[in-house]
Amino acid sequence: MTSPESASPSRPAKAAGFALLGVAAVALVIGVVSLFSSGGSETPPVAEGSSTAPPASGSSEPPASDPASTPASTPASTPSSAPPASTPGTSVVPPPPVTQPGAAKAPVRVYNNSTITGLASKASDAVRGNGWTVAETGNYSSGTIPTTTVYFRPGTDEEASAKELAAVLRARVEPRFDGIQSAAAGIILIVTNDFQGPSKNK
């Protein structure tokens, strides 16, 4: 009778032991799972920290480009372009001197319309002696000129030069007439028998 009674209480003890072992196993599994899950969560923060570093370095690069101030060099080039503008102004100055030589005395063509041989040559010497250039000498036989006359083309600079020459030679001064209208440019002096030449006072 005693053996059956002692056997019944040992079975509940074994069941309780198995239950404790099961709880311990479950706790162990939970602990392991929580360990791995917490270890995995640590990795993302590191990644976030590393991702934060690149933006910081990227933001420092723009300021470096700002100090370069490429636009500042552009304004500097603008003043340098100003000197070239003054250079053309300097080239404008030379033309005025060129205009002064243009006022030189017009060349003179001397023609003899007298009965005196060699009068055109004599008159040419007088013309050269007073600062004019003699371009040609010869005879004028297309008509009779009443008096020694200096001819010019109206509206040209020959007029002033012709008047000056006529005053020196004590001759008449007139615009060209039809017979010599087509002659080459310059003053035409036609000398006649009354040619006096320059004043002896000069």
Q: What are the residue boundaries of the structural domains of the chain, listed by start? A: 2-67, 104-191
CA distance 182 to 36: 121
Helix (H) or strand (E) holding 60: helix 2-68
CB 119 within 8 A of CB 191: yes
| Among 2-6, 99-103, 149-153, the range of highest mean pLDDT | 149-153
CA distance 80 to 19: 97
CATH number of 104-191: 3.30.70.2390
CB 179 within 8 A of CB 98: no
- Say whether pLDDT at 92 is over 90: no
pTM assigned to the model: 0.50
In this prediction, residue 32 has a pLDDT band, given cuts at 50, 70 and 90, of low
- Say whether pLDDT at 61 is over 60: no
The percentage of residues in the chain with a pLDDT greater than 70, rounded to a whole number, is 57
- Say whether pLDDT at 89 is over 70: no
